[in-house]
Amino acid sequence: MKGYLCLQDGTTFEGKASRHFDRNVQGEVVFFTGMTGYQEVLTDPSYKGQIVVFTYPLIGNYGINDEDGESEEIQVSGVVMYQCTDVPSHFQARKSLGTYLNEQNIPYMTEVDTREVTKAIRAEGTQQAALSRGTDYLFQPTKGHQIQQVSGEKIETYGEAGMHVALIDFGWKKSILNALLERGVRVSVLPFSKVEMLDTLQPDAIVLSNGPGDPKDTVDVLPLLKKALEKFPTFGICMGHQVIALAFGGDTTKLTFGHRGANHPVKDVVSGKVFLSSQNHNYVVKEDSLNGTPLVTRFYNVNDGSIEGLMHDSKLIMSAQFHPEAHPGPKDAEWLFDNFLTLVKNKGVKTHVS
């Protein structure tokens, strides 16, 4: 059965439709360049409502396991691939990728020239698209405030002892929680809409999580959040990084087609070292907007020069646009968790700047 990927600019791509192509789905179309990590991508709340195009031609080779999901369900609206392996080969595999998508009624297409789709996105930018049975799809108005669609409603605590960290939930990934728990930290996951509860929790530090959509959707909580940032040692990841910039008077802007993949080179201005990172974001902090704020650049992207991380000039506040928990992707940046927690234990203030 034929299916179509219809871009809002009028471009269409034909492919083979999955069995759950009985309904049209619309979402922002993005491409992911990693060779592995498809299970993490599909379940990452930062991809909520998006149609993901996998540029690597062979997807699903090692199947789906019980360990690598970043949330309890698939978050994307649809998937586009060149090939989806029917018979995976890995000792941890529990099912095929196709079976996994079908079980959760997620439509997907195969036999699509994903290189051409990627070229179209790079040329015209990230845009709305649809997986459709025909080429005459009528685009619907889009819904805003995606963070509200993935953030929880209650405080949940994990771990029993150790340093207490509040994880502000903008759409957190399981691997961020695991990275903290593996370091002996007790974690309270706090919905972003309940930031005022930080004074009750009195954590040793806070971590601002990743999340989908526009960071400016958090504008209502920025005043409260800034007070918390000035009180507690803070580490922001992806969306959390952007929110820190906004809280201190910086600004964000949307990239043409975003950064999504597992091999983005990042340079640390403190050490001078370059490392590879896993990334998934549409928005970036505008460098000139930091003038007059207490924030300075800590990391930048080697490919396009965009800001990849910040630090406060006097307080223990640091951030990363990339994902140091590294699922999927290399573990080059995982040291940031150890660095941050060590500074918190030592009550470091300026030590992370020098």
Residue 232 gets which letter from DSSP? S
The answer to the question of whether 306 is labelled as a binding residue is: no
Whole-number Å distance between alpha carbons of 36 and 261: 9
The answer to the question of whether 1 is labelled as a binding residue is: no
Please state the φ and ψ torsions of residue 180, each to the nearest 5 degrees: -75, -45
DSSP 245-295: HHHTT--EEEEEEEEEEEEEEEEETTT--EEEEEEEEEEEE-GGGGTTSSE
The answer to the question of whether 258 is labelled as a binding residue is: no
Q: Which two tokens stand for residue 286?
A: 């505008």
The answer to the question of whether 63 is labelled as a binding residue is: no
182 is catalytic: no
Largest interatomic CA distance in the chain = 61
Helix (H) or strand (E) holding 38: helix 38-43
Do residues 278 and 328 make contact, with C-beta atoms less than 8 angstroms apart? yes
325 is catalytic: yes
- Of 259, 312, 323, 352, catalytic: 323
- Of 241, 308, 325, 327, catalytic: 325
- Of 238, 241, 327, 352, catalytic: 238
Pairing of strands 108-110, 78-80: parallel
By CB neighbour count within 10 A (0-12 exposed, 13-18 middle, 19+ buried), where does 347 fall? Answer: exposed
The answer to the question of whether 81 is labelled as a binding residue is: no
Q: Which two tokens stand for residue 163?
A: 């340093």
Whole-number Å distance between alpha carbons of 338 and 341: 5
The answer to the question of whether 210 is labelled as a binding residue is: no
Which residues, at least 6 apart from 52, have a Cβ–Cβ distance to it below 8 Å?
30, 31, 32, 41, 42, 76, 78, 79, 80
By CB neighbour count within 10 A (0-12 exposed, 13-18 middle, 19+ buried), where does 303 fall? Answer: exposed
Angle at 303 between CA 286 and CA 80, to 5 degrees: 95
Whole-number Å distance between alpha carbons of 113 and 347: 53
Q: Calculate Rg over the CA atoms of the chain.
A: 20
The answer to the question of whether 213 is labelled as a binding residue is: yes
327 is catalytic: no
Binding residues for L-glutamine: 46, 211, 213, 239, 242, 280, 283
Binding-site annotation: residue ranges: 46, 211, 213, 239, 242, 280, 283
What amino acid positions are annotated as catalytic residues?
238, 323, 325
